[in-house]
Amino acid sequence: QALAGSGVPVPAVYAWEPQRRLALFERVAGSAAIDKLQDTRQQRAVMEDFIDAVARLHQLQPEDLGLDDVLGSHELSARECALDDLEAQLEGFVTFLADYMDPLLTYAVQWLRRFAPDSVQRVCLVQGDTGPVNFMFEGDRVTALVDWEWGHWGDPMEDLGNICVREFWNPSGGLEGLFQRYAQKSGLRYQRDAAMYYRVQQNTRGMIPIHAACQSRGMRESMAWYLAYRYIGDRSTCEALAEAMGVTVARPELPDDAAESEPLVEAILTGLQRDLLPDLQTDFSRARAGDLGMLVACLERRQRYAGALQQDDAADIAGLLGRSPQEPTQGLATLCTAIEQGGLDDAALINVLARRAYREEWLHRPLAALYPARRWSAID
């Protein structure tokens, strides 16, 4: 409602019922699947129209939108812009995180606090989770920005970092020249370091609930997809940290996995593919059967390779800390404690975390295949 008539394309709000918090929106023409476009010229035209819409959003004056009663005061410091939503996410998952030892999340949160930008050009309304596929388009034009649940006052560079993350998961022709175009259209400086910071911030903020979901039991959603997000997301977080810090990461050597599968595993996978899938009647049941097959394949890979990979992780941790943990889980806890205490060399630590992430993604390759060849697009 606040953005209606602002020049930022959003769906019209036809009705709002405050007691149950129900909204009735206009049905907007078009598609969100920009990553599926085969016409690269159209894809680029849509992305340029999208970045123009983001520039218009960031030009709006907060005091003109009348949203302080919804979003709180827009008078924020640069540090509050950088950390408020992260701290809210940590608070929301405080019970889970109290007993969860993950060195990458531990370091990423510490890193975000240490390197939070010390200045902000202006505070504006940011979509907070913007980029492909969180807008609709038809032809060459964006018809609506959608999915505003993370909308808040913040640093405009946060949305540029978000665009990087969403383009990683939904490749849409790359980002070359788009942020320079944003600067021309918005009148704001494109701050590459800040965009890279927010690339890490968005990944970290998003991976906290993903890690929590991967530890849950009996979930209704597809565990296969959550695990794919986790292992690819962890690796991409490490790569974003490395690029932000100017660190070169040495990829680890990985086992030879040419051996045949266990006969029992082959029997399960063959039974799923040959005997069950053809007779399943719905897209949902067929998708879930495929997910189960990937989980079975990953369980076998864990049985076959996890021990050796954990030993490699332990050796990396020992080299970093100068002492050997007694067993792998103790090593992760010891590393988390060392990170919290501070003083570790960032480049060496990022290498240890990245090598572990590469191993984990390789170990769960059947799941990672859900998002093949995901790489960060260059930002100039």
- What does the pLDDT read at residue 237? 98
Q: How does pLDDT run across 98-111, given as a tens digit for each residue?
A: 989 899 999 999 99
Tell me the three-class secondary structure of 116-176, residue by residue: CCCCCCCCEEECCCCCCCCEEEECCEEEEECCCCCCEEECHHHHHHHHHHHHHHCCCCCCC
pLDDT at 346 over 70: yes
With a cut of 70, say whether residue 327 has pLDDT above it.
no
% residues pLDDT > 90 (the chain): 85
For residue 136, give both structure tokens: 């609709």
**pLDDT score for 271:** 85
Mean residue pLDDT across the chain? 94
User: For 183-187, what is the mean pLDDT?
Assistant: 97
pLDDT score, position 276: 85
pLDDT at 329: 66
Cα-Cα end-to-end distance for the chain: 35
Closest CA to 156 of 57, 240, 77: 57
Is the separation of the CB atoms in 102 and 331 below 8 Å? no
Can you give the pLDDT at residue 326? 62
Confidence of residue 264 (pLDDT cuts 50, 70, 90): confident
- Structure confidence by residue, pLDDT tens digits, 38-51: 999 999 999 999 99
pLDDT digits (tens, 9 = 90+) for 249-263: 999 999 988 777 778
Kindly tell me if the per-residue pLDDT of 270 is higher than 70. Answer: yes
Residue 269 pLDDT:
83
What percent of the chain is modeled with pLDDT above 70? 98
pLDDT at 52 exceeding the cut of 80: yes
pLDDT grade for 267, boundaries at 50, 70 and 90: confident
Which band of pLDDT confidence, cut at 50, 70 and 90, is reported for residue 248?
very high
pLDDT of residue 376: 97
